[in-house]
Structures are given as C-alpha cells and as structure tokens.
Amino acid sequence: MDGTGVPDAAPPPAPPPTHHPVGHVPPDRLRRARWSVAVVFLVHGSVTGSFATRVPWIQDHAQISAGQLGLALAFPAIGASLAMPLAGRISHRLGARTALRLLLALWTLSLTLPALSPNLYGLCGALLVYGATAGMADVAMNALGVETEDRLGKPIMSGLHGMWSVGALLGSAAGTAAAHAATDARLHLAVAAAVTTVLGAVACQGVLDLRSTPDEHPPPRFALPPKSALVIGAIGFCAVFAEGASLDWSAVYLRDVLDTDAGLAAASTTAFSCTMAVARLAGDRVVARFGPVRTVRVSGVLATVGGLLIVLARHPAMALTGFALIGLGIAVVVPLAFAAAGRSGPAPSQAIAGVATITYTSGLIAPSAIGSIAQATSLTGSFLLVTVLACGLFVGAGVLRAPGRSAAGRGTAPAGGPERP
C-alpha cells in the first residue's frame, strides 16, 4: 500500500532477458559460425599449399643442398610440436575468437619468412616460426570446430578438413601459376600472406566467441598429452603415416616398381589427393548416418584393400586404384580423431594439442621411414607396413566412440565455456 491506503498496482511484468541462457546459441548464429570456421580451415590450407609450391625456389635462394633442405623441412614439425600446447592457454586468456584471430594472422604472415631466408640457418629459424604458428592456429581452429559441431548437434569436422584440402589445392594452384610465370617467391608469398591474412580476419569475426568460466583454471604451458589423447592419437598416427607415405612416395613407387613414365606416376598423387578431398567433403553425411566407429572401420577396410592392391600390383592401373582407395579410406580419420579428442575430457584444447602432436610426428617420420625400409628391403615392403597400419584403423576404431558428454548442442554448456553475449 502507499500512504493513502489504496493498494499498490500490480508491478509490471519483467522484461524478457536480452541474452540467451549459458551455452545456448541461436540457430542462425550457429550457421554463421559453421561457415566462418570453414573459411578459417580453407585459409589455413591455402597457406600450406602456397608454401609447398615454392620450396624449389626457396632452396635455390638459400643455396642449400637436398640434404640440407630435408633438415630444414623438419623444423616446421618441431616448431608445431613445441608450440601447440600453448594454444589452450592463449585461448583461455583471450577467448576463443580473439585467440584464433591472433594465431591465424601470425600463421598467414609467417608465410613470408622462408623466402626471405638467405642461408640454411635463417631458413631453419624461419621454418621453426612457421611451424609453431601453424600448429597453434591448428589447435585453436580444431577446438572451435569441435565446439561448433557440438552445438549444432551434427557432424561437421570432416567437412571442415575437406575445406582445408580445398584451400591447399587452391594455394598450390596459385603457387604453380606463379612459379610457371617465374614470379619471385618473395613477391608471390607476400601477396598470398596479405590476402589470407585479410580473409582470415574477416572469417574470424563470425566464429563463436567462447570464454572460460571465472572459476576455470588456465591450462598448463606445457603438459604431457592426457591418456585419452594418446589412445585416440594412435588412430590418427596410422592415418597420417599412410597419408605421408602416399603423398611423398606414390609417384616414386609407380616409376621405380612398375616402370611407368613421369606423367602417369604423377597421376597417383592426384588420384590420392582428389579422393581424399572429396571423401572429406562428403564425410559428414556418412558419419551422421553410421557414426564415427562404423565409418572408420569401413575406412580401415578400404585403406587396407588399397594397400594390398599397391603391394600386389603388376600393372599401373592396379596401383593407381590402390592409392585412390587409401585416400578414400583415411580421409575422415583425422577429423574424427580431433573431434573425439575434444570430447574426451575437461580440457579439449589440451587433448586436441596432444592428438595434433602425435599426428604431426607421424607426418614427419613417415617419408623417411618409408625410405629407410625401402633401402633395407624394398619399396613394396615399405607399403606392406602402410597396409598393416591401415588395418589398425579397423582394429582401433572403437576409441572414437562419442561419449554422452554434449547431447550435441542442446543447450548445455560445452567444455569451452559460454559464448560472450
């Protein structure tokens, strides 16, 4: 009552909240986030493709031998392995969107460094930075991809990695054109860095801006991968080993073992790359229908059959089919390994960094391991090992089984914390 004795009027109804409950993101916002992170993957892949095409120019500019180049090319993996654990701490401090914007820009701008290196020591240092920024951006974008997938409630990781493959193809196509035109790699890579930096900054505006909760402890600067990441990483190791072996040795296999000409030998790499890219772009529908475990078991069978065709090949067509089947079989494994790592515990960035470290290591040792085994036995014997590892995908697929953590985007707060309103 007021002072006159007349009852107070009923208070007006409370206005509706101006923000969404913790963990909930509107569907249109999620769709935008999905396509934004897809462009981020495309940008990341295009940087890799751009660099790969100018390695011969960089070698000539630095005046180094093939052996010295091989040494220098180990430094990106070393830098990535050392720096990837830091990505989770940076995301914790800055938030997912700001961290990704920063790390992606460092990665795209680092593309200019290798072409500026005047000698072996400068090139090793440039590639160490190049690999470190690549690895941290890789962890940040995969962690955001997993969170976006959880909130959407349907698989998208295979498609995101398919966009990476598309970016690598676009970057390599532009680099091939620049090399064919005898364009100075310093100019070409500077332009590529500028374009990808701008495109990446625009794309990062649309990704989810996840923030750590106030009571969440920051991840350690350096830590051993959690046990769950080691088990999941073993599956990724098998897939990336087969990928590295096929990319680097398929043309050599057709030339040396089956005595084909250079053009047909190069077609093996094309067959492998194309089937892998197409399978990744289509993989989300397959995973949504059959689940990650059944999908990887079938993938393991396909990759194993492909390996057997290569080992038993007496005609180039048989080996070409084998490399195409390996590309088809391993395509979705790494995306599903990252997704499983992101759901395997309370620290998704740390788990993803662990899996990424294992897969990067596999990609580093695969080409040299194939060469060493070939020298001790034969190139056919090397691909027998690839076939055995492909069979491991079928055996170990169960570790990718999705836990009941997320209810896949139904309003629960994911491990990455709420999005900033």
Q: What is the pLDDT along the chain (421 residues), one digit of tens a residue?
A: 444 443 333 333 434 333 333 356 678 888 899 999 999 999 999 998 888 888 889 988 999 887 788 788 888 888 988 888 888 788 878 888 999 999 999 999 999 999 999 999 999 999 999 999 998 999 899 889 988 988 888 889 889 999 988 898 888 888 888 888 889 999 999 999 999 999 999 999 999 887 765 555 555 555 556 676 788 889 999 999 998 888 778 888 888 899 888 778 777 777 887 888 889 989 999 999 999 999 999 999 999 999 999 999 999 999 999 999 999 999 999 989 988 887 776 666 677 878 888 887 887 788 778 888 888 888 899 999 999 999 999 999 998 886 654 433 333 333 455 555 4
For residue 147, which of 69, 241, 34, 282 has the smallest C-alpha distance?
34
Residue whose pair of structure tokens reads 């970016």 in the numeric block: 167
Instruction: Yes or no: say if 358 and 341 are a contact pair by the CB < 8 Å rule.
Output: no
Helix (H) or strand (E) holding 90: helix 86-94
**CA-to-CA distance for 271 and 277, rounded, in angstroms?**
10
**CA-to-CA distance for 333 and 311, rounded, in angstroms?**
22
pTM of the complete model: 0.75
**CA-to-CA distance for 75 and 361, rounded, in angstroms?**
11
